[in-house]
């Protein structure tokens, strides 16, 4: 019997990855600053994320990797139960995943824990925040060598915040301990590490979160070198070092402000109204970029009715609403222009005006 022909392209794998991309690639960016990421060092990266500057782009294969991590959670719950522990994977008060929020941040800083566990062999009476992760073989060995605080500072910060928030909510019944459980994706080995609550650490983390939330412009980044390894692989590299600008949602608009009154609320000075999350995602035709976001290609020089005047290479354009002023250029058009010099190209601008067109 002749061997089945084998294609260079794998249609089965490609179809599976495409299904993951279709299912998970449309998920909206979360509306809050997450405890799971705040331990990363760059304030500017956090600000761009909080302001929805650029949707995360992952391959279908990576979405499947993420789901592999989620699949470990029920398995670890069962493993812990098998050795006599009691796992609370849901908050008994709500029947939902453990969810925490920081009131001093206006509730813009939040996180969701994997669970609470009691009956650990080392400390059978102490409740522990439970955090479950998977890791590559290299990262797993780094973890064994250095511990979570050094190897994965974002996970360390995440657990510190969950302990703090559980104490805030439940007082003496809260968790002053956490257990970190990591599964090696290569050979299924397990690493565990117990952590103790550190009040000073959590206050530093909260201060960092507040600096991000309240900043009206991008904070200073971790480096000024575009080839620095933490910058080179950052999702926002083309915005931070190039001429790309954030997506024109309400969160990149000069009119919008995250309010600190405790309702995780955003307000719009132009509309004089609150901004529901779904409205924030779409923005409106009165969107005006926070001026510094265009600084890689143009500088603000003046204000005119309905717009902000920018100068580039000795020429000017206005970020405004074309429906009100045909020569003004909308934020959506600015975002669409890969080559920002088109915004001052007289030929392109004449065609746009003559035909009522727009940059796309």
- pLDDT score recorded for residue 6: 64
How far is Cα 147 from Cα 96, in angstroms, rounded to an integer? 30
Among 55, 53, 56, smallest CA distance to 239 is for 53
- pLDDT score recorded for residue 129: 98
- In degrees and rounded to multiples of 5, residue 330 shows phi and psi of -70, 160
Among 131, 134, 157, 118, smallest CA distance to 37 is for 157
Written as six digits, the tokens of 122 are 């080392």
- pLDDT score recorded for residue 5: 63
How far is Cα 154 from Cα 161, in angstroms, rounded to an integer? 11
pLDDT tens digits, 75-128 = 999 999 999 999 999 999 899 999 999 999 999 999 999 999 999 999 999 999
Q: Are 76 and 5 in contact (CB under 8 A)?
A: no
The pTM of this model reads: 0.93
Give 330's strand partners.
none
How far is Cα 22 from Cα 27, in angstroms, rounded to an integer? 10
pLDDT tens digits, 244-296 = 999 999 999 999 999 999 999 999 999 999 999 999 999 999 999 999 999 99
In this structure, the dihedral spanned by the alpha carbons of residues 261, 267, 269 and 271, taken in order and rounded to 10 degrees, is -140
> Angle 199-214/43-50 helices, nearest 10 degrees?
60
Question: pLDDT tens track of the chain, all 360 residues?
Answer: 666 666 667 889 999 999 999 998 878 899 999 999 999 999 999 999 999 999 878 899 999 998 988 999 999 999 999 999 999 999 998 999 999 999 999 999 999 999 999 999 999 999 999 999 999 999 999 999 999 999 999 999 999 999 999 999 999 999 999 999 999 999 999 999 999 999 999 999 999 999 999 999 999 999 999 999 999 999 999 999 999 999 999 999 999 999 999 999 999 999 999 999 999 999 999 999 999 999 999 999 999 999 999 999 999 999 999 999 999 999 999 999 999 999 999 999 999 999 999 999
Q: How many CB atoms are located within 10 Å of the residue 200 CB?
A: 8
- pLDDT score recorded for residue 26: 77
């Amino acid at each position: 019997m002749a061997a089945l022909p084998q294609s260079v392209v794998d249609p089965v794998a490609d179809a599976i990855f495409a299904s993951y991309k279709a299912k998970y690639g449309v998920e909206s960016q979360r509306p809050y600053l997450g405890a799971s990421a705040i331990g990363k060092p760059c304030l500017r990266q956090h600000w761009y994320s909080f302001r929805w500057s650029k949707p995360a782009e992952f391959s279908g294969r990576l979405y499947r990797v993420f789901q592999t991590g989620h699949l470990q959670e029920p398995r670890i719950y069962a493993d812990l139960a098998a050795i006599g522990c009691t796992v609370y994977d849901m908050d008994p008060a709500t029947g939902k995943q453990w969810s925490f929020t920081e009131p001093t941040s206006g509730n813009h800083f939040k996180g969701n824990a994997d669970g609470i566990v009691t009956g650990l062999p080392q400390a059978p009476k102490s409740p522990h925040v439970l955090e479950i992760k998977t890791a590559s073989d290299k990262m797993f060995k780094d973890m064994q060598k250095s511990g979570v605080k050094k190897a994965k500072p974002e996970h360390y910060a995440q657990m510190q915040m969950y302990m703090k928030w559980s104490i805030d909510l439940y007082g003496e019944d809260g968790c002053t301990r956490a257990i970190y459980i990591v599964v090696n994706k290569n050979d299924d080995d397990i690493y565990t590490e117990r952590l103790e609550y550190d009040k000073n650490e959590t206050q530093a983390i909260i201060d960092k979160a507040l600096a991000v939330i309240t900043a009206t412009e991008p904070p200073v980044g971790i480096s000024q070198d575009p080839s620095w390894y933490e910058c080179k692989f950052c999702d926002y590299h083309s915005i931070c070092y190039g001429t790309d600008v954030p997506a024109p949602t309400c969160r990149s608009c000069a009119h919008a402000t995250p309010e600190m009154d405790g309702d995780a609320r955003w307000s719009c000075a132009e509309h004089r109204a609150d901004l529901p999350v779904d409205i924030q995602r779409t923005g409106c035709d009165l969107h005006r970029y926070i001026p510094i976001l265009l600084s890689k290609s143009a500088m603000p020089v003046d204000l005119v009715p309905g717009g902000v005047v920018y100068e580039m290479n000795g020429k000017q354009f206005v970020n405004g609403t074309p429906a009100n002023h045909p020569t003004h250029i909308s934020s959506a058009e600015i975002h669409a222009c890969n080559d920002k010099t088109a915004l001052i190209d007289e030929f392109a601008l004449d065609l746009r005006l003559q035909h009522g067109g727009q940059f796309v």
